[in-house]
Amino acid sequence: MSSKKDLINKHDNLHSDLVDLHNELRKKTWKKWKRVLPFEELLFDRWEKANFLKTKKGANLYHNNYVYGQVEIGEHTWIGPYTLLDGSGGKLKIGNFCSISSGVQIYTHQTVKWALTGGKAPYEKAKTTIRDFCYLGPYSVVTMGVTIGKCSIIGSHSLVNTSIPPFSIAFGIPAKVVGKVQIKGKNVSFKYFKKKQNSTK
């Protein structure tokens, strides 16, 4: 049986080894990518996690995000750090060449009525879809049952609780469509709708 002193020594040795490993990996990552990352991101590979989740070719997602239930991620889609992808209430499908920024949350269920009724009402569930070629800004939230049309932009800190048509620019709480995306070959332009002038008497 190990003595208290032995356990303390083992702890100290383990801590020292972890610090050495962290320093080595941090230097290597800085040299290769010019990035300083949390320890867990230095230990685990984004592409390995994508492979485990059976994402399509070229997709990758950070280690420090949460993935629940049925989540399908398309080709070359990037899932940023600290995201939540909830496919527990129905399939969550994210298309090809999407950019899902840091802190984004996408849901396929909600517990509002369950909470308000003290558990009498069931969870509400519905599939959620992000079509191809979409950009979701940091900390945006997409609620269950929503479809975001292809080639759309969702502004940061937006709450998307209704479906968004293709080629849309939308932001706000709740998110409103404020413009259109126009694409010709590799050229992209943004056309914003004119604000209606308030009439004064």
- Predicted confidence (pLDDT) at residue 95 exceeds the cutoff of 80: yes
Considering the domain boundaries, does residue 75 fall inside one? yes
Whether residue 200 lies inside any domain: the answer is no
Whether 122 contacts 138, CB under 8 Å: no
In this predicted structure, the answer to whether residue 197 has a pLDDT above a threshold of 90 is no
| Contacts by 6-10, CB closer than 8 A, 24 or more apart | none
Q: Could you say which DSSP state residue 56 is in?
A: P
Q: What is the pTM of this model?
A: 0.90
pLDDT at 201 over 60: no
CB 144 within 8 A of CB 125: yes
Residues 10 and 83 in one domain: no
Three-state SS at 21: helix
Residue 4 pLDDT greater than 90, yes or no? no
* In a shared domain, residues 20 and 54: no
pLDDT value for 36: 94
- Report pLDDT for 5: 74
Q: In this model, does residue 200 exceed pLDDT 80?
A: no
Please indicate, yes or no, whether residues 100 and 2 belong to a single structural domain of this protein: no
Greater pLDDT, 181 or 2 = 181
**Burial zone of 83 (CB within 10 Å; 0-12 exposed, 13-18 middle, 19+ buried):** buried
Is 141 in the same domain as 152? yes
Given a cut of 80, whether residue 111 has pLDDT beyond it is yes
Residues of the chain with pLDDT > 70, as a percent, come to 96
On whether residue 198 sits in a domain, the answer given is: no
Tell whether 176 is covered by a domain: yes
With contact defined as beta carbons under 8 Å apart, do 158 and 122 qualify? no
Predicted pLDDT at 45: 87
Compute the mean pLDDT over every residue in the chain, rounded to the nearest whole number: 94
Q: With bands split at pLDDT 50, 70 and 90, how would you rate the model's confidence at 146?
A: very high
Q: Is the pLDDT of residue 199 over 60?
A: no
* Pair 101, 22 in one domain: no
Q: Which of 190, 173, 88, 184 is nearest to 135 (CA)?
A: 190
The overall longest dimension of the chain from CA atoms, in Å, is: 89
pLDDT tens for 26-65 read 999 999 999 999 998 999 988 999 999 999 999 999 999 9
Whether residue 65 sits in one domain with residue 7: no
Residue 135 lies in a domain: yes
Question: Residue 2 — very low, low, confident or very high, per pLDDT cuts 50/70/90?
Answer: low
Quickly state the pLDDT bin for 9 (edges 50, 70, 90). Answer: confident
Calculate the alpha carbon distances from 182 to 126, 173, 186, 194 in Å. Answer: 30, 24, 10, 16
Among 153, 127, 111, CA closest to 71: 127
- Indicate whether 76 pLDDT > 90: yes
- pLDDT > 90 in the chain, percent: 87
What CATH number did the domain enclosing 113 receive? 2.160.10.10
Domain carrying residue 145: 46-192
| 197 domain residue, yes or no | no
Rounded Cα distance, 122 and 150, in Å: 32
Task: Report, in angstroms and rounded to the nearest whole number, the Rg of the chain calculated over CA atoms.
Answer: 22
Specify whether 153 is located in the same domain as 183: yes
The C-alpha atoms of residue 52 and residue 99 are separated, in whole angstroms, by 20
Give the CA distances from residue 138 to residues 8, 133, 182, in Å, rounded to whole numbers and listed in that order: 43, 16, 22
Rounded Cα distance between 88 and 98, Å, is 21
Residue 5 CB partners (closer than 8 Å, separation 6+): none
